[in-house]
A and B are shown apart, each in its own frame.
Chain A
């Protein structure tokens, strides 16, 4: 079945510390991967996407993610977080163009000063 798993429902981290949010997806011949961010009481904003090519993708706000086909993972990283990064982060997958996006359950990132 097509699915996305985010193992951590909450990740607390100190300001300026590095963070990694984990994501695994169910394998398929073709897969397109995304990370979305949802700030409190707001909609979904695309952070970054992997469609093809380089397995390391860079997004907005200093985030990056690495596509690992053998481990079916697409973990999100940031070397130094800021208070303003406090939000819910959703990993998502699409298995073909113009099809539905399947979202993970989300990881709440909380930043401590």
Chain B
């Protein structure tokens, strides 16, 4: 069964450094999402992406964040200058179409900022 994959599974970085989290959505999916979950808290929406554009973003998704689909398979989340409070689990999700109500989640990348 096709699944969303994410790399790395765990990333440790120093405050102020740039990180790129990578996701490979399910191959025929068209809508892509990033969510994050700070330890012990709920899952929060960051951004949705369709047709090479951001379709919606949350207040959390400020100028230090960016997303990109650099080729036909990868979907990346870049954090330009990491802060301690960016430490969280980051989940990528994909959806097949605009009429779909189901999002398929990857296993997550745990980001630790020291």
Q: Does B95 contact A (CB under 8 A)?
A: yes
Q: Does B75 contact A (CB under 8 A)?
A: no
In chain A, what residue has the closest Cβ to B110? A41
Task: Report B53 CB to chain A, min CB distance, Å.
Answer: 13
Q: Across the interface, do A99 and B108 meet the contact criterion of CB distance under 8 Å?
A: no
Q: Across the interface, do A94 and B101 meet the contact criterion of CB distance under 8 Å?
A: yes
Q: Across the interface, do A100 and B101 meet the contact criterion of CB distance under 8 Å?
A: no
Secondary structure of the A side of the interface?
loop
Q: A44-B91, A44-B105 are in contact. Are A97 and B98 (CB under 8 A)?
A: yes
Task: Report A56 CB to chain B, min CB distance, Å.
Answer: 18
Q: With the chains together, A101 CA to B91 CA distance in Å?
A: 12
Contact of B101 among A90, A97, A106 (CB under 8 A): A97
Q: Does A32 contact B (CB under 8 A)?
A: yes
Chain B interface size range = 20 to 34
Q: Across the interface, do B95 and A98 meet the contact criterion of CB distance under 8 Å?
A: yes
Question: Of residues 69 to 105 in A, which have CB atoms within 8 Å of B's CB atoms?
Answer: 90, 92, 94, 97-105
Question: Given the complex, which residues of B lie within 8 Å of A97, measured CB to CB?
Answer: 98-101
Q: Across the interface, do A32 and B44 meet the contact criterion of CB distance under 8 Å?
A: no
Question: Given the complex, which residues of A lie within 8 Å of B68, measured CB to CB?
Answer: none
Q: A43-B105, A43-B108, A44-B91 are in contact. Are A102 and B45 (CB under 8 A)?
A: yes
Question: Given the complex, which residues of A lie within 8 Å of B102, measured CB to CB?
Answer: 46, 49
Interface residues of B (CB under 8 A from A): 31, 33, 35, 41-45, 48, 50, 55-56, 58, 91, 93, 95, 97-103, 105-108
Interface residues of A (CB under 8 A from B): 32, 36, 42-46, 49, 51, 90, 92, 94, 97-106
Would you list 12 pairs from A and B whose C-beta atoms are within 8 A, ordered by A residue? A42-B107, A45-B105, A49-B102, A97-B98, A97-B100, A98-B31, A100-B56, A101-B35, A101-B43, A102-B45, A103-B42, A106-B42
Given contacts A32-B101, A97-B98, A100-B48, 17 further A-B contacts (CB under 8 A): A43-B106, A43-B107, A44-B105, A90-B42, A94-B101, A97-B100, A98-B31, A98-B50, A98-B55, A98-B95, A98-B99, A99-B56, A100-B56, A101-B93, A101-B103, A103-B44, A106-B42
